[in-house]
Amino acid sequence: MDALHLTIFLIATFAGALVTGLTGFAFGLVVSSAWLFILTPAETAALIVAFGLIVQGYAVWKLRHALDWRKFWPFVFGGAIGVPLGVAVLTSVNPGYVRAAIGAFLVVFSLYSLFRPPLHVTSAGPLADAGVGFLNGALSGLSGLSAILVIIWCQLRGWTRDQQRAVFQPVAIATFFMTGVWLSGSGAIGAQTAWLFVLGLPVLLAGTWLGMKLYGRIDEVAFRKAVLIVLLVSGVALMLV
CA distances to 12, 38, 144 from 6, rounded to whole Å, are: 10, 9, 20
Report the C-alpha gap between 117 and 115 in whole angstroms. Answer: 6
Question: For residues 7 and 216, which has the higher predicted lDDT (pLDDT)?
Answer: 7
SS3 (DSSP) at 240: helix
- 18 pLDDT higher than 80: yes
Between the CA atoms of 61, 208, 9 and 34, what dihedral angle is there, to the nearest 10 degrees?
A: 90
Tell whether pTM > 0.95. no
The top-scoring range by mean pLDDT among 19-28, 32-41, 212-221 is 32-41
- 57 pLDDT higher than 80: no
pLDDT of residue 122: 66
- 140 pLDDT higher than 80: yes
The rounded percent of the chain whose pLDDT value lies above 70 is 93
- Arithmetic mean of pLDDT, 217-236: 77
Report the C-alpha gap between 42 and 115 in whole angstroms. Answer: 31
